[in-house]
């Protein structure tokens, strides 16, 4: 049964890579025309919502399987989720163009678009 578990892990990895790739292609196609950064929320590769990063808010994404997305101080983070591994909670916050939070069990992808792509890495 060990082998099967390995296979499942590989499958998850491939799925994640696929989701990221799809999101990347999508963002190239749908390049927003400037003006602030957005947290773009996709489930199963389908964009379901986008929220401005300059407006603080909290959204619950999903119903039975939920992730709570909090936008605060120009950054997006998943603060709570019932996905089991909670990788998505640990991954945040994100604020720069192209940064992502992925929740594999919920097939959820949150990606920053339109932020400051260039410039100094302002980690202090
Ligand atoms: Zn998760």
**CA–CA gap between residue 75 and residue 79 (Å, rounded):** 12
The residue count for the chain: 124
Does the pLDDT at position 25 exceed 80? no
Domain boundaries, the chain: 2-113
Q: Tell me the pLDDT tens digit for each residue of 27-50.
A: 666 654 446 899 999 999 999 999
Fold of 2-113: mini-chromosome maintenance (MCM) complex, domain 2 (2.60.320)
Rounded to the nearest angstrom, the distance between the alpha carbon of 1 and the centre of ligand 1 is 25
Those residues with Cβ within 8 angstroms of residue 74's Cβ, 6 or more apart along the chain or in another chain: 37, 53, 54, 95
Average pLDDT, the chain: 86
Rounded to the nearest angstrom, the distance between the alpha carbon of 52 and the centre of ligand 1 is 22
Q: Please provide residue 77's backbone torsions phi and psi, each rounded to the nearest 5 degrees.
A: -150, 150
Rounded to the nearest angstrom, the distance between the alpha carbon of 27 and the centre of ligand 1 is 22
Does the pLDDT at position 65 exceed 90? yes
Does the pLDDT at position 118 exceed 60? no
Ranking 10-24, 40-54, 92-106 by mean pLDDT, the lowest is: 10-24
pTM higher than 0.85: no
Rounded to the nearest angstrom, the distance between the alpha carbon of 88 and the centre of ligand 1 is 4
Does the pLDDT at position 116 exceed 90? no
- Across the range 82-102, mean pLDDT stands at 95
Most confident of 9-23, 85-99, 109-123: 85-99
Does the pLDDT at position 79 exceed 90? yes
């Amino acid at each position: 049964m060990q082998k099967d578990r390995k296979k499942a892990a590989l499958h998850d990895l491939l799925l994640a890579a696929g989701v990221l790739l799809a999101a990347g292609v999508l963002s190239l196609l749908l390049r927003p025309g400037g003006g602030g950064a957005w947290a773009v929320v996709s489930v199963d590769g389908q964009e379901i919502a986008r929220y401005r990063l300059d407006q603080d808010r909290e959204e619950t994404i999903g119903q039975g399987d939920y992730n709570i997305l909090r936008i605060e101080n120009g950054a997006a983070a998943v603060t709570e989720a019932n996905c089991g591994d909670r990788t998505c909670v640990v991954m945040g916050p994100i604020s720069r163009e192209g940064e992502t939070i992925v929740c594999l069990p919920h097939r959820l992808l949150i990606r920053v678009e339109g932020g400051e792509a260039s410039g100094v890495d302002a980690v202090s």
